[in-house]
Amino acid sequence: MTRLLRFARNDTRFFMSVGIKIENLSKSFGRVLAVDGISMQFAEGRLHGLIGSDGAGKTTLMRLVLSLLDADAGSCSFTEEGREVALREIRDAISYMPARPSLYPDLSVDEHLSFFKDIYMIGEEEFAENRERLLSITRLDKFLDRKAGELSGGMYKKLGLMCALLQRPKALLLDEPTNGVDPISRREFWELLYSLAAEKILIVIATAYMDEAERCHEVHLLDRGRMLATGEPRALLAEAGVRSFDEYYLKRAES
């Protein structure tokens, strides 16, 4: 099932913009150092890319941020409107979509939305508004009766994203959401992300697709658990004297 870090509905709390700061995070699995002293900051309301090949540490880093794993060293702090807060105070404002969201293959698109509505106790009026908006922007409104197991790869990922967005989170962490998705669906998925970023939602997307790095507002380049560089994509490419992030990694491997 798509993992949402939201456990109960709290209508009395209105979440403002959320930011995340990582300082010297490290995590080992036996002799494998998956995350090696990484520091970075995810600014409020921006689209950040965690870029790196398999084994770079992207998934482990996300799970450390969300306290799904305990760090060996370092810390992760959170802000709401610039004020530092504990994760438990804004947990309802953060949604997480893992690399392989295991939706229920026998449930339809509409049944999935109703299922998450009941789990997270969303009121009828709010649910109706969010449901209509999400179906429209994902273009799944014509497939309400189609079962998840019968959806294409791109539609399946969109359904997982809808479930993650049903309660309007202020921070959205996506682990390789376009992996295995056809080019047209990838483009549509990114258009959807841009529309969400325009609503001031903090988006962190982990991807191994180098071309997607250039679509982010800011990128954080990882390799074998270490931070290589962080910054605005075009500025990093210009600084390295390369035209793409494929070239960036190849140049670094040769040096």
Per-residue pLDDT averaged across 59-80, rounded?
96
pLDDT class for 10, splitting at 50, 70, 90? very low
Q: Assess if residue 152 is contained within a domain.
A: yes
Q: Assess if residue 3 is contained within a domain.
A: no
pLDDT class for 228, splitting at 50, 70, 90? very high
Q: Assess if residue 13 is contained within a domain.
A: no
Domain with 156, as residue range(s), is 18-254
Q: Assess if residue 176 is contained within a domain.
A: yes
Per-residue pLDDT averaged across 209-230, rounded?
95
pLDDT tens for residues 153-211? Answer: 889 988 998 888 888 889 999 999 988 888 888 888 898 899 888 888 999 999 999 99
Of 194, 217, 201, 191, which is closest to residue 167 (Cα–Cα)? Answer: 201
Residue 124 has pLDDT above 70, yes or no: yes
Q: Assess if residue 240 is contained within a domain.
A: yes
**What pLDDT score was predicted for residue 112?**
95
Residue 113 has pLDDT above 90, yes or no: yes
**What CATH code is carried by the domain that includes residue 24?**
3.40.50.300
**What pLDDT score was predicted for residue 15?**
57
* Gap between the Cα atoms of 212 and 193, Å rounded: 12
Q: Assess if residue 138 is contained within a domain.
A: yes
Q: What is the rounded average pLDDT for all residues in the chain? A: 89
pLDDT class for 3, splitting at 50, 70, 90? very low
Angle, alpha carbons 227-172-220 (nearest 5°):
15
On whether the CB atoms of residues 226 and 61 are closer than 8 A, the answer is no
Residue 39 has pLDDT above 70, yes or no: yes
Q: Identify the weakest region by mean pLDDT among 86-90, 118-122, 166-170.
A: 118-122
Alpha helices in the chain (DSSP H): 58-65, 87-90, 109-119, 124-138, 153-165, 183-197, 210-213, 233-240, 245-254
Q: Assess if residue 11 is contained within a domain.
A: no
Per-residue pLDDT averaged across 49-69, rounded?
95
Number of structural domains found in the chain: 1
Residue 227 has pLDDT above 60, yes or no: yes
**What pLDDT score was predicted for residue 34?**
97
Identify the H or E element spanning 205.
strand 202-207
- Residue partners of 29: CB distance under 8 A and separation at least 6: none
Quick one: what percent of the chain has pLDDT higher than 90? 60
Q: Assess if residue 1 is contained within a domain.
A: no
Q: At what angle do helices 183-197 and 124-138 cross, to 10 degrees?
A: 130
Of 112, 104, 106, 102, which is closest to residue 134 (Cα–Cα)? Answer: 112
Q: At what angle do helices 233-240 and 245-254 cross, to 10 degrees?
A: 40
Per-residue pLDDT averaged across 51-62, rounded?
95
- Residue partners of 16: CB distance under 8 A and separation at least 6: 80, 81, 170
